């Protein structure tokens, strides 16, 4: 029987996903190093060059810091350095270990992560 960690899980019943995103989002499963599982709400963002995951909805035992970072430029034009983390993710967009940029929070509180064009299995 799998263990579930709902401590920081976003309740999609409370925060409804904008209907304009209906074909671009899904629920994914994140697996920690100790094999606990957590559901994430992820958005496929074809305009993003870097997959991003929100730190404010994620416990540190769900990712491994790679020691690397990436520079990202948001819609405001500001360039910020974000740490690159490795996560184990299962979703309709793929299953395996992936690198995500770790941001403090995403602009839309409905989503835990954005899957960009860089998503490649490690």
* Contact of 54 with 113, CB cutoff 8 Å: yes
Flag whether pLDDT at 7 surpasses 60.
no
Question: What's the pTM value of the predicted model, to 2 decimals?
Answer: 0.80
Judged by average pLDDT, the poorest of 6-10, 16-20, 77-81 is: 6-10
Q: What is the pLDDT of residues 93-120, one digit of tens each?
A: 889 999 999 999 888 888 999 998 887 6
* Contact of 102 with 72, CB cutoff 8 Å: no
d(CA 77, CA 113): 20
Which domains, and CATH codes, for the chain?
Answer: 24-115 (2.40.70.10)
């Amino acid at each position: 029987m799998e263990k579930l960690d709902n401590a920081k899980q976003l309740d999609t019943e409370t925060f409804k996903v904008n209907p304009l995103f209906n074909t671009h989002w899904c629920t994914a499963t994140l697996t920690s190093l100790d094999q606990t599982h957590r559901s994430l709400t992820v958005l496929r963002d074809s305009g993003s060059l870097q997959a991003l995951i929100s730190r404010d909805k994620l416990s540190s035992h769900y990712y491994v810091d790679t020691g690397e970072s990436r520079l990202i430029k948001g819609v405001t034009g500001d360039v910020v350095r974000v740490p690159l983390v490795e996560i184990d993710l299962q979703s309709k967009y793929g299953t395996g270990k992936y690198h995500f940029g770790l941001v403090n929070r995403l602009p839309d509180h409905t989503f835990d992560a954005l899957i960009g064009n860089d998503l490649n299995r490690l």
